[in-house]
Amino acid sequence: MIAGSLASATWFEQWWIRVWDFPRLQIFITLCVLAGLTAVLDRKTRPVLPLLLAVCAVWQGYRIFPHSFLAATEVKSAAAASDDAACIRVFAFNVLQDNRDYARALELIREENPDVILLTETDDAWAAALEPVLRNYPHRLDRPLPNTYGMMFASRFAMTDATIQDLAMPETPSVMATLSVDGRKVRFFGIHPHPPRPGIDTDERDFELVRVGRLAETETRPVMVVGDFNDVAWSNTSELFKKTARLLDPRIGRGSFATFPSNMIWLAWPLDHIFVSEHFLFKDMRVLRDIGSDHRAIVSDLCLDPDRAERLNDEPEAADRSDRANARDIAEDYVEARKDKAAGN
């Protein structure tokens, strides 16, 4: 636990280091218990151990504290929204490609009746099965794939400058579209980068997050970034993305809204995210019931109210010189890794 805590404080991209980013809450609880037990039972033989465990617990608690109910919110309540605010219901769900429980997915989408839908891990079978509900959405970007990185995007709002393309890895699409919401433009990004796992480090995922962050940073319009990041909100890379993009996290001060794994919510981590620019106010966010995927769907009602939101919300934290250096290193490491792969090294 101590070694894992120290490893996760670094920027190394190796998968066996980065996996320690995920269960910070569970590690925090375990460290607190171990610190208490060793202080009582083992203090005389190993007097330093309880202190080390306690220090690591404090550090882990510091990292997850913003995603607790004790922290202040960044995106303020839509209870203060103006009369002309436009509220958008966003629905994001990693369906799990091998999950064939289409009926429950259709039922859940119909129940939630979202304005915007982002679905990941969709193959041709999922595309066909979801057509009865998605045909009600006049604006679509679909790219079903058999490799667990298919993506489908559906919107009630008209879209312009809309594309679905590979930003980091081949056959790993991301959505970019401009939505017309009550006469106002919202730039939408939908992403699903590769996760860290044995044999696959995080250079590809981190590069995609940095690239989307830089694209969002250049926007003067309201922005939403949605998807299965395969990363937790309290990791170094997610925090770097958030600062690079100058976005806010509606979950801060409200909870972690853990979505994975779906069948062990007590052990779950927040892998599915909705980040917004300072132009939105918060109405609601929920993690939905288990419907057969390894993820649970997340749905959020966010109200576009630029003038009032900019007055009420926290100002997005900007990337400093150190952050920009880290982003530059991530991009350079990714390019070098691709060159090595192309060369067969």
Domain definitions of the chain by residue range:
2-67, 78-312
Res. 312: pLDDT tops 80: yes
pLDDT at residue 44, as a whole number: 64
Residue 94 has pLDDT above 60, yes or no: yes
Q: Quick one: pLDDT at residue 80?
A: 84
User: What is residue 34's predicted lDDT score, i.e. its pLDDT?
Assistant: 84
Provide the pLDDT confidence category of residue 15 given band limits of 50, 70 and 90.
low
CA distance 249 to 66: 10
CA distance 101 to 41: 50
> What is the tens place of the pLDDT at every residue in 281-307?
999 999 999 999 999 999 999 999 999
Is 90 exceeded by the pLDDT of residue 43?
Answer: no
Average pLDDT over residues 57-73: 92
Of 27, 14, 77, the closest CA to residue 312 belongs to: 77
Q: Looking at residue 295, what is its pLDDT?
A: 98
Q: Which two tokens stand for residue 36?
A: 């208490």
User: How far apart, in whole angstroms, are the C-alpha atoms of residue 253 and residue 256?
Assistant: 9
pLDDT of residue 8: 65
Query: Helices 102-112 and 124-134: crossing angle, nearest 10°?
Result: 30
Residue closest to 172 by CA, chosen among 198, 196, 204: 204
Structure tokens, 246: 């100058």
pLDDT of residue 41 exceeding 80, the answer is: no
- Banded pLDDT at 47 (limits 50, 70, 90): confident
- Mean of pLDDT values over 161-177: 96
Of the pLDDT bands very low, low, confident and very high (cuts 50, 70, 90), residue 75 is: very high
What is the rounded average pLDDT for all residues in the chain? 92
Q: Structure pTM?
A: 0.93
Is pLDDT of 345 > 80? no
Q: Helix 236-245 to helix 203-217 angle, to the nearest 10 degrees?
A: 20
What is the model's pLDDT at position 175? 98
Share of the chain above pLDDT 70, in %: 94
> What is the structure's pLDDT at 12?
65
230 and 194 Cβ atoms separated by less than 8 Å: yes
**Which pLDDT does position 110 carry in this prediction?**
98
Helix (H, G, I), strand (E, B) or coil at 164: strand
Residue 82 has pLDDT above 60, yes or no: yes
Counting Cβ atoms within 10 Å, is residue 161 exposed (0-12), middle (13-18) or buried (19+)?
A: exposed
Q: What is the pLDDT of residues 188-246, one digit of tens each?
A: 999 999 988 776 778 889 999 999 999 999 999 999 999 999 999 999 999 999 999 99
CATH number given to 78-312: 3.60.10.10
pLDDT value for 29: 85
Could you give the CA distance from residue 172 to residue 152 in angstroms, rounded to a whole number? Answer: 12
Q: Is the peptide bond prior to 114 cis by the omega test (within 30 degrees of 0)? A: no
